[in-house]
A and B are shown apart, each in its own frame.
Chain A
Amino acid sequence: MNSNTPSSSAGGPGSADLATPRRNSKRPKYSRFTQQELPACKPILTPKWVISTFLLISVVFIPIGVVSLLASRDVVEIVNQYETECIPEESRNDKVGFIQSSQDKNCSRTLRVPKDMKQPIYVYYQLDNFYQNHRRYVKSRSDQQLRNPGSENSTDACEPEEKTNSGSIVPCGLIAWSLFNDTYAFSRNNQQLAINKRGISWKSDRDHKFGKRVYPKNFQNGTLIGGGRLNTSKPLSEQEDLIVWMRTAALPTFRKLYGKIEMDLQTGDVIDVSLQNNYNTYSFNGKKKLVLSTTSWLGGKNDFIGIAYLTVGGLCFFLAMVFTLIYLIMPRQLGDPSYLSWNRNPGGHLAS
């Protein structure tokens, strides 16, 4: 009975199903995307293209470099390093001891204006070797407390300067605690030069980061005194020195704005600075500098950008020249199949 002799009678109704194609199951509709046939431009690194790119870069960069360098050179900057000189000769063996004592820290410095300085003249203090970016330090602040009068006690992040015996410190944390507290007063020809200390911080900080109704509390009342003190009657939003200080610096050498002199200074002017050398940078061999500087459109005096632009532009020009030379000496047609290694080396394993 067992039979599978070919008999044409086996096809019953429904065998037409077999004719239906089964291939089309999941194929999406044709589109240029699915077939990866989108119109495309295929740039090739032709000598012309590369050389002109390098030339273009050099043509753009060298002028920018020159302009930047000129801008930077236009800036007049007076830098005066004072951390050693402001220690009396006899105390220089024990600077830390001196700075921690209650002796008179007054110190006077003389600055000579080398070139005319147009107002506003920015007064910065510069600290070297001061790690405001230290992990422990950076984290030790409470933005909430600074902004919100009600969040006085949210000092979790401020360890180890979160509270004293009499309650939470406002503003808490190491950053505020180590507030820079050297002061400067300027006079020219015995005439006081006014320093404008308003508007030295970011407006956004004054408006949104530091509360208008948050007042300092228990600040520098602990056993360890860090840096400067704050006027408890002024809200934090007006404590601009603090606001500036609390914009932590990314690098161990930094300048922070102290104030502005809104008066032009002439070449040869002699400025007497009477400063209070209070801040301890001696434990860690930090330097302190007083900087008076004008600005340009690029900011302060910084030759780096100009030099870098000139270097990059020059190098690009050099490369463009080298490539042109090579191109002229050893011209090579791109896409020439005879350059293909397998065509040049018929004896290799890729023999075709």
Chain B
Amino acid sequence: MTVTHLSKMRLWLPHSPPIFLNRETLELTVAITSAVTYAFCNKKVGSTALDFDIVIEKNARFMNQYFLLIACLQLWSLITPVNPASTWGPLIFIFAVSATKEAWDDYNRYLSDKKANEKEVWIVRQGIRKLIQAQDIHVGNIVWLRENDEVPCDLVLLGTADPLGICYVELKGKTTAALDGETDLKTRMIPSACMGIDGVIECPRPDKDIRRFDANMRLFPPFLDNDVFPLTIKNTLLQSCYLRNTEWACGVAVYTGKCNETKLGMSRGIPEPKLTAVDAMIDKLTGAIFIFQIVVVIVLGVAGSVWKDTEARKLWYVQYPKEGPWYELLIIPLRFELLCSIMIPISIKVSLDLVKSLYAKFIDWDDQMVDLETGTRSHAAKCCISGRLYGNENGDALTDAELLNAVSSGSTDVIRFLKVMAICNTVIPVQSKSGEISYKAQSQDEEALVRAAAHINFNASLIQYEVLDILEFTSDRKRMSVVVKDCQSGKIFLLAKGADEAILPHSYAGQQIRTFAEAVEQYAQLGLRTLCLAWRELDNDEYQEWAVMFKEANSTLVDREWRVAEVCQRLEHDFEILGVAAIEDRLQDGVPETIETLRKAGINFWMLTGDKQSTAIQIALSCNFVSPEPKGQLLMIDGKTGDEVSRSLERVLLTMRITNSEPKDVAFVVDGWALEIALRHYRKAFTELAILSRTAICCRVTPSQKAQLVELLKSCDYRTLAIGDGGNDVRMIQQADIGVGISGREGLQAARAADYSIGSVSGTSLFNSVSLMAYNVFYTSVPVLVSVLDKDLSERTVMQHPQILFYCQAGRLLNPSTFAGWFGRSLFHAIVVFVITIHSYAFEKSEMEEVSMVALSGCIWLQAFVVALETNSFTILQHLAIWGNLVGFYVINWIVSAIPASGMYTIMFRLCKQPSYWITMFLTVAAGMGPVLALKYFRYTYKSSKINILQQANVWEGQFLLWGT
């Protein structure tokens, strides 16, 4: 088989070409020609080239297209009412700002990429170590790393300093931690049958799943019958990890930074331009304004055209040409369009972007935010070994004298139980310099168990076991087992632990499992998380036979997980149940209060957990998630068959509908099985249930079900916030809209931003270009930016009356009715400014520059007072911004008025000397703000019933908080 043939043959498979290992030179030959490589192009890490995507993406949104259209129209001098600079200036400014920001980001990325690219790494070539730059690593190179080195690309481990072939890596930074569970330190080991042997690594096309690497290693020449060795993620060193606790390690590069195809690079990926809810709302409202604008334009355009034909032609001093060009009809509407274009000010975009990034910064900075992370801490508490329960009502089994006695007296059952506890896990012990041993585990439960086992201690006698195979835990299997060989006796054991329903049914025929089931139930009632521990002695032959199958299953490239599970199933039977360990899932301080607070805030909670139903209910009760009887009521949805589930669902739905008006907390409880059926066959009924209930407990759910639930809720137009502790919840978290909390505030800002857009409608044709431009960019955005710093209420008040948050969500969010309120007020202000200006500056004072400046000043004054009225807490920053903006307006205009060449030369000085100017300003402010203040006060004090109605009307617009455990 020729190389090319091989490559071609492989191409249509979803795998990349194989990589050949060669023993003599320890160099890898990459057996592909460039013609068939899709992946090995010679690009460096990352790509800093400014690509057009950014530009296109920027323009993808309606608003941007609109601005561009307006700016282009401005270039047509026949229709521009003002200098084109008034649109182009801001547009260029805005693009310059965002381009600068992007360029800065790019530059930083370039720097870090460059650093990564030029970092020197050791590679082994011809048996000699050589230093090369990271960017020159090719697929197939052998990279040699020392302790604490950063891994430059994805490697398959070939050797480490440890004789057992183990090394440790630490994941770096938030990104990976967010993607991959809790612990940072991970064990990595070299593939079992490999130490400098020729071979080929067959690996799949690079993907972004950093928890999977389903590859194979094929050795040359085949010296065993089964020459394929499975490679998993455990055999890899992924880019950007750090090598820890290992003197050195070397590995062969499989995915390099070129083309960004390392797993990390891909999972970091290209961030999808995600439109947040606020963005969508703003786009919607902008669309609404746009439609309004079009209507205005058409009406005014027609009126203007008619006026032109009937009246303006008589104005001899205007010298209208007798015959206009063919497009004459369009001119007046288009002019109005340009005039109205500032209804949607360009600054709204700048403001929003700035507001967003500022909020992000503040959230990043906020210390208190950390406290909000609710979570659970596991703690081994009680156990039941062969029918005896250790650990009293409120005590720990660890301190139970009986247990300690049993240990010291050498009760076989107890010792076996502890052995399983100590061995059947994937915990990594780490010894710190001070000699303390700490355990790093994938799950906190495991850590708790090992800690407990270590605590009890086996009389200091050392028993050595060799771990032959690990049958890993998956959320579908709900158990894990290890196959170990007792080094002394040579016997092989299968040690297993897992959820009760995954272990108990697999016990050997004669065992009494009733006591264990009872113990499980009893512990679950206490809200403890239970684990059953079991073991079985294996026949040597049985094991050998099985081991072959297991290896085979582990080497499959397709559906590996499923195959492995199937093989594991064959070994995991006839268990001898040793006992039940119960782990207290102790809630962090303040969780009940937090949940109470959030619930009062009108946030709907769903708890999605993998725990047993009774455990879940207990936890839910203990953290105020549901109220105990008689105030609360739990409705069960269960059943094994479709009919049963359907009936149960109907019943719950009925109860739900009836009790909806009662002041009762009704929650429904559904388990994974029933949920599966409900989601598949009774989706409609379940959706209705989801809408009706404010609280739900879903237990025994799988990760994919969690994601499905989120999807379901999203489809009901709920905004979902998923909280999970990684691992199982990743899919759910990815599915949910994140960042709802921010959006409430942001939305408010947007409403404000939108207001000022409209606040400036009046008399615009009067304004000259410079001030219009300045108004467009600065005056409208500065006060809005300041409101970022605004706090509606103090934290304490919010904590005392969390319902207010609900009000915020329902009523004050950027919704069309608030928007209409802002709109109406703006219109009122526009009329006030216009009427007052034209009347107080009538007759001999009717000079264009002066009148325009009076109107503009009126807008600025009103705006300052509107912001002041809407600001709830004044800090020095607010004062600075609001009044500074006002002062800034005068300073800028004085400066411009001092330039003889400018159109408004001396205007501002002249106005400021006139008493009538100031009198007009005060009049404008009083006339504009008086009614607003009165209305606000009235609503604030006497119209709370309205809010009440509003709340009820909006009650189903709440949000969901999915609490994954």
Which A residues fall within an 8 A CB radius of B? 1-19, 22, 25-28, 30, 33-36, 38-43, 45, 47, 50, 53-54, 57, 61, 64, 68, 122, 124, 126, 130-138, 143, 160-161, 174, 177-178, 202, 204, 208-209, 224, 226-227, 247-251, 253-257, 280, 283-285, 297-300, 302, 304-305, 308-309, 312, 315-316, 319, 323, 326, 330, 332, 334, 337, 339-342, 344-352
**B841 interface neighbour in A26, A250, A280, Cβ under 8 Å:** A250
Per a CB cutoff under 8 Å, which of B469, B906, B915 touches A2? Answer: B469
| Cβ contact within 8 Å between A299 and B845 | yes
Q: Is there contact, CB below 8 Å, between A350 and B244?
A: no
Residues of A within 8 Å of B433, CB to CB, are 15-16
Per the bound structure, the CA–CA distance linking A110 and B428 in Å amounts to 112
Known: A251-B842, A255-B844, A340-B801. A345 touches B948 (CB 8 A): yes
Q: A143-B903, A226-B317, A305-B840 are in contact. List 16 more A-B contacts (CB 8 A).
A: A2-B192, A4-B426, A10-B430, A10-B431, A11-B245, A14-B245, A25-B174, A27-B364, A34-B365, A204-B905, A255-B846, A283-B314, A297-B915, A299-B844, A300-B843, A348-B951
Within the complex, which residue of B320, B365, B428, B662 is in contact with A27, where a contact is CB–CB below 8 Å? Answer: B365
Whole-angstrom distance from the CB of B948 to the nearest CB of chain A?
Answer: 4
Q: How far is the CB of A325 from chain B (nearest CB, A)?
A: 12
Q: Kindly identify which residue among A134, A309, A332 contacts B318, using a CB–CB cutoff of 8 Å.
A: A134
Smallest beta-carbon distance B447→chain A, Å:
11
- A136 and B304 CA atoms in complex are apart in Å by 14
Question: A15 near B245 (CB under 8 angstroms)?
Answer: yes
In angstroms, how far is the closest chain A Cβ from the Cβ of B494?
15
Say whether, besides A12-B247, A124-B844, A5 and B466 are in contact (CB < 8 Å). yes
Cβ < 8 Å to A, chain B residues 637-696 = 660-665, 694
CB-contact partner of A11 in B316, B361, B432, B662, under 8 A: B432
Chain B 894-919 interface mask (CB, 8 Å, partner A; 1/0): 00000010010110001000111001
Nearest CB to that of B193 among chain A residues? A1
CA distance A58 to B364 in the complex (A): 48
Q: List 10 A-B contacts (CB under 8 A).
A: A6-B429, A41-B874, A53-B933, A250-B838, A254-B843, A284-B315, A309-B923, A347-B663, A349-B660, A350-B600
Most B CB atoms within 10 A — which of A250, A299, A304, A345? A250
**Chain B 933-951: CB-based contact to A (< 8 A → 1; otherwise 0):** 1101100111011011001
CB distance from A207 to the nearest CB of B (A): 9
From B245, B366, B877, B944, A10 is in contact (CB under 8 Å) with B245
A209 to chain B, nearest CB (A): 7
Q: Is B246 in the interface zone, CB < 8 Å from A?
A: yes
Contact among A38, A134, A315, A341 for B947, CB-based, below 8 A: A341
CB pair A47–B941 under 8 Å, yes or no, is: yes
Question: B187 within 8 Å of A by Cβ?
Answer: yes
CA gap between A42 and B320 in the complex, in Å: 59
The answer to whether A38 and B919 touch across the interface, beta carbons within 8 angstroms, is: no
Write out, one digit per residue, whether chain B residues 307-346 have a CB within 8 A of any chain A CB (1) or not (0).
0000110111111110000000000000100000000000
In the docked arrangement, what's the CA distance between A42 and B148, Å?
53
* CB-based contact A10/B429 at 8 Å: yes
* B185 interfacial by beta-carbon distance below 8 Å: yes
Task: Kindly state whether residue B927 has any CB partner on chain A within 8 Å.
Answer: yes
| A-contact 0/1 string along B406-442, CB 8 Å cutoff | 0000000000000000110111111111000111000
Which applies to chain A's interface (DSSP): helix, strand, loop or mixed? loop
Beyond A14-B148, A202-B906, A305-B920, whether A284 also contacts B314 by CB under 8 A is: yes
Q: Chain B residues in contact with chain A, CB under 8 A?
A: 81, 147-148, 162, 164-166, 168, 170, 173-174, 184-185, 187, 189, 192, 244-247, 311-312, 314-321, 335, 361-362, 364-368, 422-423, 425-433, 437-439, 450, 464-470, 600, 602, 660-665, 694, 766, 789, 791, 794, 801, 803, 806, 836, 838-852, 872-878, 900, 903, 905-906, 910, 914-916, 919-920, 922-923, 926-927, 930, 933-934, 936-937, 940-942, 944-945, 947-948, 951-952, 955
Given the interface pairs A26-B364, A35-B366, the reply to whether A43 lies near B874 with Cβ below 8 Å is yes
B592 to chain A, nearest CB (A): 14
Q: Which B residues touch A33, using CB under 8 A?
A: 877
- Residues of chain A within 8 A of B789, CB atoms compared: 36, 38
Residues of B within 8 A of A138 (CB): 848
Provide the residues of chain B in CB contact with A134, threshold 8 Å: 312, 315, 318
The complex places the Cα of A26 from the Cα of B927 at a distance, in Å, of 49
> Judging by beta carbons under 8 Å apart, are B916 and A305 in contact?
yes
CB-nearest residue of chain B relative to A254?
Answer: B846
A5 touches B948 (CB 8 A): no
Closest 5 CB pairs of A and B: A11-B431, A341-B948, A178-B317, A38-B875, A250-B851
Q: When chains A and B are docked, how far (Å) is the Cα of A7 from the Cα of B314?
A: 102
- CB pair A250–B81 under 8 Å, yes or no, is no
Contact present for B319 and A256 (CB under 8 Å): no
Neighbour of A1 across the interface among B164, B923, B933, B947, CB < 8 A: B164
Contact pick for B319, options A14, A50, A161, A346, CB 8 Å:
A161
Contact A133 B848 (CB under 8 A): yes
Chain A residue, CB-CB nearest to B599: A352
Would A174 and B319 count as touching, CB distance under 8 A? yes
Whole-angstrom distance between the alpha carbons of A9 and B363 in the complex? 42
Q: What is the chain B residue whose CB lies nearest that of A302? A: B842
Q: How far is the CA of A54 from the CA of B318 in the complex (A)?
A: 48
Q: Do A319 and B840 touch across chains, with their CB atoms under 8 A apart?
A: no
CB nearest to A178 among chain B residues = B317
Q: Which single residue of chain A is at the shortest CB-CB distance from B425? A: A6
Verify A12–B467 contact, CB threshold 8 A: no
Q: How far is the CA of A160 from the CA of B847 in the complex (A)?
A: 24
Q: Would B905 and A209 count as touching, CB distance under 8 A?
A: yes
Whether A16 lies near B432 (C-beta < 8 A) is yes
Distance in angstroms between the alpha carbons of A53 and B882 in the assembled complex = 20
- Inter-subunit contact A249/B430 (CB<8 Å): no
Given A1-B192, A15-B433, A351-B665: A10 and B166 interface contact (C-beta under 8 Å): yes
The answer to whether A8 and B431 have CB atoms under 8 Å apart is yes
| B944 and A208 within 8 A (CB) | no
Alpha-carbon gap, A35 to B173, bound state (A): 23
Tell me whether A350 and B602 are in contact (CB under 8 A): yes
Residues of B within 8 A of A178 (CB): 316-317
CA–CA, A5 and B247, complex, Å = 20
Q: Please tell me if the beta carbons of A40 and B930 are within 8 angstroms of each other in the complex.
A: no
Residues of B within 8 A of A132 (CB): 848
Question: Cβ of B316 and Cβ of A341 under 8 Å apart?
Answer: no
> Which residue on A lies nearest to B850, using beta carbons?
A250
Contact indicator B923/A250 (Cβ below 8 Å): no
> Contact at B245–A12, with CB atoms within 8 Å?
yes
Task: Report the bound CA distance from A13 to B936 in whole Å.
Answer: 67
> Is A351 a contact of B663 with CB atoms below 8 Å?
yes
Rounded to whole Å, the gap between the CB of A100 and the closest CB of chain B is 10
* A304 close to B839 (CB less than 8 A): yes
**Which residues does chain B contribute within 8 Å of A332, judged by CB atoms?**
941-942
Which one of B174, B247, B465, B803 has the highest number of Cβ atoms from chain A below 10 Å of its Cβ? B803
Q: Are A302 and B840 in contact (CB under 8 A)?
A: yes
Whether B431 contacts A256 by the Cβ 8 Å rule is no
Q: A299-B845, A312-B930 are in contact. Are A350 and B803 (CB under 8 A)?
A: yes
Q: How far is the CA of A284 from the CA of B168 in the complex (A)?
A: 92
Q: Is the CB of A136 within 8 A of B450?
A: no
Given A17-B244, A41-B874, A315-B930, CB of A160 within 8 Å of CB of B602? no
Known contacts: A174-B318, A250-B766, A309-B923. The answer to whether A135 contacts B466 by CB under 8 A is no
Q: Which residue of chain B has the shortest Cβ distance to A352 in the bound complex?
A: B600
Which residues does chain A contribute within 8 Å of B192, judged by CB atoms? 1-2
In the complex, A7→B431 CA distance in Å? 10
A137 touches B317 (CB 8 A): yes
A35, A224, A255, A319: the one within 8 Å of B930 (CB): A319
Distance A137 CA – B839 CA, assembled complex (angstroms)? 23
Q: Taking CB as reference atom, which chain A residue is nearest B800?
A: A337
Cβ contacts under 8 Å, A42 to chain B: 794, 872-874
Complex Cα spacing A2 to B230, Å: 13
Closest residue of chain A to B854 (Cβ to Cβ) is: A250
By the criterion CB–CB under 8 Å, are B847 and A247 in contact? yes
Which of these, A3, A7, A13, A122, contacts B429 with CB under 8 Å?
A: A7
